[in-house]
Structure 1
């Protein structure tokens, strides 16, 4: 029986196409995985949503539940937001919760569970002044942001890196380290 639950939240970036393998890797590590997607990410993997729900054993969420509906997910022991796009990361840091995944991520900070994020942005967006401010806001709130030299992926030029270049293993290892700490 799985004793730990992780919320895996994904934005619409090419690494989202690897999400089934990431779920399987987390499950192999003893995690019960609840998968949340931005609306655009959900549309990108639309054909796989049913299979992903079967794989996780939970509904794949991309929208808030309606008032009065019970939450279909168990409580989380950790949260990983990866890939986190420029838009999602900035929205989260600014407290803009119009997207289900940014709302869940924002609330997780207050729940005092390990919260990690790994951005997936190109170099042009990473140079926007709000990006570094958002990373600092999230870090100051206790979020482990895997970004930059020695800490996570370094932004590439637009379209240079294929999805298989995204360092999922780094994120999964960081989750384990955060939970042990």
Structure 2
């Protein structure tokens, strides 16, 4: 048994968005706040990040697909989850209880386990105008999910990279995660 206190473990769920390649900013911010970090990417999100760089930074393999029965769990259990960037698709599927990817399965189960979750939406104005999005945010909020502030960007323009506050996920989670000793 180590004399080192156990650090809380943060899962970062990364979705397929143009700013996903900046996820290292959230990893660094979490590590500076004494978190250990593992990344779970949606299948499409995997193509938006530098997997080798993320794995080198976290020290853990990126999860994107279910493991086979009997395979070891590559990540410790989560003490908290940050979904960043969270896309229109992931937010709506998660709120509806759809679990067709590992990332969504983890999010759906995290609620049942009472694990604190922060979500930082990243989407365009046209998507944000869809009634399903507002309803999904309401449902997630009712579930206790901590929702970050984000102003949607123009359609077909990407953008918002300079306004996306990665560290907001940690600010939202801080009062909700007990420190480990």
Higher mean alpha-carbon deviation, 123-132 vs 156-165, is at: 156-165
Query: In structure 1, what is the Cα distance between the partners aligned to 2:160 and 2:153?
Result: 10
Q: Shift of residue 160 of structure 1? A: 5.6
5+ long unaligned stretches in structure 2: none
Match of 1:72 among 46, 69, 74: 74
Q: Does 1:34 align with 2:35?
A: no
Query: In structure 1, what is the Cα distance between the partners aligned to 2:69 and 2:173?
Result: 32
Question: Equivalent residue of 1:135, what SS?
Answer: helix
Match of 2:118 among 109, 116, 119: 116
5+ long unaligned stretches in structure 1: 147-151
Question: Residues 26-51 of structure 1: CA distance to partner in whole angstroms, max 9, x if unpaired?
Answer: 11110000101111111122xx2122
The residue aligned with 2:100 is 98
The residue aligned with 1:154 is 151
Query: In structure 1, what is the Cα distance between the partners aligned to 2:53 and 2:169?
Result: 23
Check conservation: 2:81, 2:115, Cα contact below 8 A: yes
Higher helix content, 1 or 2: 1
State the TM-score, normalized to the length of structure 1: 0.89
Check conservation: 1:115, 1:143, Cα contact below 8 A: yes
Q: Shift of residue 112 of structure 1? A: 0.7
Question: Equivalent residue of 1:117, what SS?
Answer: strand
Q: Does 1:49 align with 2:51?
A: yes
Residues paired across the two proteins, number: 174
Query: In structure 2, what is the Cα distance between the partners aligned to 1:26 and 1:78?
Result: 11
Match of 1:16 among 7, 17, 20: 20
The residue aligned with 1:149 is none
User: How is 1:127-146 mapped onto 2 (pairs within 5 angstroms)?
Assistant: 127-146=129-148
Query: In structure 1, what is the Cα distance between the partners aligned to 2:175 and 2:151?
Result: 21
The residue aligned with 1:82 is 84
Change (3 A) 1:106 1:14: same
Change (3 A) 1:109 1:97: same
The residue aligned with 2:172 is 174
Query: In structure 2, what is the Cα distance between the partners aligned to 1:104 and 1:164?
Result: 29
State the TM-score, normalized to the length of structure 2: 0.89
Query: In structure 1, what is the Cα distance between the partners aligned to 2:47 and 2:68?
Result: 20
Q: Shift of residue 56 of structure 1? A: 0.7
